[in-house]
Amino acid sequence: MSAIRERRRHPRIAVSWPVRVWIDDEALLGRAQDASRHGLWLTMPTTTSLKLGKVCWIDVLSEELGSFTVAGEVRYVSGRRVGLETTRPVPITKLEKE
């Protein structure tokens, strides 16, 4: 059995942030489970609208960082889990120092 090659460029930080994912004019509610400088790992009640390569807006509400919005491209979908690569950095610098 061969090892899976790690493709992440930045370390992940465990989070628990409510999110609203905008796909066209449809809003889906979910939760970010971890974050990195250029990515979010989400759990969603449904992922049928989230196809690989789809670009969407993600509104994030974080107690530690406040609210922010990033655009992201769907890079992974499995069951209720979605991995997104963001087009600009997720503002986690404060969390990385803790």
pLDDT score for 1: 47
Residue 3 lies in a domain: no
Residue 88 lies in a domain: yes
Across 89-98, average pLDDT: 73
- Under a CB-based contact definition with an 8 Å cutoff, are residues 29 and 18 in contact? yes
- Under a CB-based contact definition with an 8 Å cutoff, are residues 73 and 84 in contact? yes
Position 4 confidence tier, pLDDT thresholds 50, 70, 90: very low
Please give the tally of structural domains in the chain: 1
- Under a CB-based contact definition with an 8 Å cutoff, are residues 67 and 53 in contact? no
Query: What's the CATH code of the domain at 83?
Result: 2.40.10.220
Position 60 confidence tier, pLDDT thresholds 50, 70, 90: very high
Position 47 confidence tier, pLDDT thresholds 50, 70, 90: confident
Range 4-37 burial, b when 16+ CB lie within 10 A, else e: eeeeeeeeeeebebebebebeeeebebebbbbbb
Q: Mean pLDDT for the chain? A: 87
Position 9 confidence tier, pLDDT thresholds 50, 70, 90: low
Q: What is the pTM of this model?
A: 0.83
CA gap 82, 52 in Å, rounded: 10
